[in-house]
Amino acid sequence: KVRYDGGHKHDPFLTQTLGQYVAYIPVCPEVECGLGVPRESMRLIGQTGSPRLVTTRSNVDITDKMKNWANKLLPELEKHQLCGFIFKADSPSSGMERVRVYDTNNIPVKKGTGIFARMFMEHFPLIPVEEDGRLHDPILRENFIEQVFTLKRWRDLMKKKWAMGNLVDFHSRNKLLILSHSEKHYRMMGKLVADGKKLPVKDLFSLYETHLMEALKLKPSIKKNVNVLQHMMGYFK
- Domain count across the chain: 2
Q: How far apart are CA 89 and CA 97, in angstroms?
A: 8
Residue 235 pLDDT grade (very low, low, confident, very high; cuts 50, 70, 90)? confident
Does 229 lie in the same domain as 194? yes
Does 114 lie in the same domain as 29? yes
Rounded average pLDDT over 101-107: 91
Give the highest mean pLDDT range of 48-52, 100-104, 146-150. Answer: 146-150
Does 128 lie in the same domain as 16? yes
Examine the fold and report which residue of 133, 152, 183 is the final residue of a domain before the chain moves on.
133
pLDDT of residue 22: 94
Examine the fold and report which residue of 133, 150, 182 is the final residue of a domain before the chain moves on.
133
Does 87 lie in the same domain as 52? yes
Burial code (b: 16+ CB inside 10 Å, e: under 16) for 102-141 equals beeeeeeeeebbbbbbbbbbeebeebbbbbbbbbeeeeeb
Q: What single DSSP character describes residue 14?
A: I
Q: Is 116 within 8 Å of 93 (Cβ atoms)?
A: yes
Does 195 lie in the same domain as 124? no
Does 181 lie in the same domain as 108? no
Whether 91 maps to a domain, the answer reads yes
Rounded average pLDDT over 150-167: 92
Whether 147 maps to a domain, the answer reads no
Does 81 lie in the same domain as 29? yes
The reply to whether the predicted model has a pTM over 0.85 is yes
pLDDT of residue 150: 98
Does 200 lie in the same domain as 116? no
pLDDT of residue 183: 96
Does 115 lie in the same domain as 182? no
Whether 2 maps to a domain, the answer reads no
Examine the fold and report which residue of 133, 151, 176 is the final residue of a domain before the chain moves on.
133
What's the mean per-residue pLDDT of the chain? 92
Task: Mark out the alpha helices in the chain (DSSP H runs).
Answer: 12, 29-32, 63-78, 115-123, 138-158, 164-179, 183-194, 201-217, 222-233
Residue range(s) defining the domain that contains residue 119 = 12-133
Going through 41-128 in order, the beta strands assigned E by DSSP cover 42-45, 52-55, 85-87, 99-102, 108-112
Rounded average pLDDT over 200-217: 96
pLDDT of residue 39: 83
Does 126 lie in the same domain as 32? yes
Whether 148 maps to a domain, the answer reads no
Does 171 lie in the same domain as 63? no
Whether 4 maps to a domain, the answer reads no
- Residues 46-73 pLDDT 10s: 999 999 999 989 999 999 999 999 999 9
Whether 176 maps to a domain, the answer reads yes
Does 120 lie in the same domain as 33? yes
